[in-house]
Structure 1
Amino acid sequence: MVVLATKLYVEGDARERALDSLRSQVDNDVGDLDVEYDVGVRHDDFPTVTLEGPDEVAARNVLAETWGEITDGFEAGETYVGTLESWDDDGFVLDAGEDVVVPADELGLGPGTPAQIRERFGLVQHVPLRFTYGETPALADEERDR
């Protein structure tokens, strides 16, 4: 199973339409592989894709690369993906299955408050952002260069 680093935060009919759209996008990503898949949503609104078949590993890797993957835990120095949950003067809060606070001085995107940086770069709530985990999490270099 792959937990995709995006959120389905709408309810009702809109949620069903969003799931249909996501299924179509997943099919575009892995439809040519020899794998069956089922798309669902976790309790925290992250979509899951359960995979089965000879190309399961390849499909998992494609989805993790395309969408980013929410993992069960973190190791210092490794890069992960979270969605932008909120921001304040202290920094960005990313939802990576658990809240990860990237302090303002670890954003590395130039001068200004986190709110000013968010506005300057057009970052919207729930956008996936890569971060490097550690005692003090930081935006990942590849995210700063994007």
Structure 2
Amino acid sequence: MSDWIGKANREDLTYPVAAFRESLVKRLRLLRKYKGALHLTRAGAAARDRPAVLFEHLAASITPPHERDRSVVDADLLMLAYAAITPDGELPLDRIATHLTNLGYQYDDGRPIARYDVLHYEANVHDILVNIAEPPAGRRPRSQISAVASALARTALQR
């Protein structure tokens, strides 16, 4: 959160933290909310202190399920494909947006998909990939992924 404005000391004022927590609860199912507190799920407890188990769980969790909206599945697959070939680098969000537009996705008024849209669609895999890294020493682009995130994307695509 080195690039976030403000103190980043409250989740309701620090959107990326809130979004990541939501992905840990809803998409990854490593945590659950109970009586206002976060608790490990069975999957979270099983992965505790077991990196290989956690890696496999994450790979299974970020593989786009077919029952989701087709546009979200396509966006996730493009994000994973680019992440898989971008070890320790920056994801080409503009290119991903262009691909989505070329696939026929657009706004009701005809505007094409933009970089911002690729970062902010519902429960996206981008938020997960960029958070799989060592804490940055300073500011870094929000589209930068680690070598581990790239390996995770490759594993997810092979499922």
| TM exceeding 0.5 | no
Which structure carries more helix by proportion?
A: 2
Higher relative contact order (CA 8 A, sep 6+): 2
Which structure carries more strand by proportion?
A: 1
What range is the shorter-chain TM-score in?
A: 0.3 to 0.5
What TM-score do the two structures reach when normalised by structure 2? 0.31
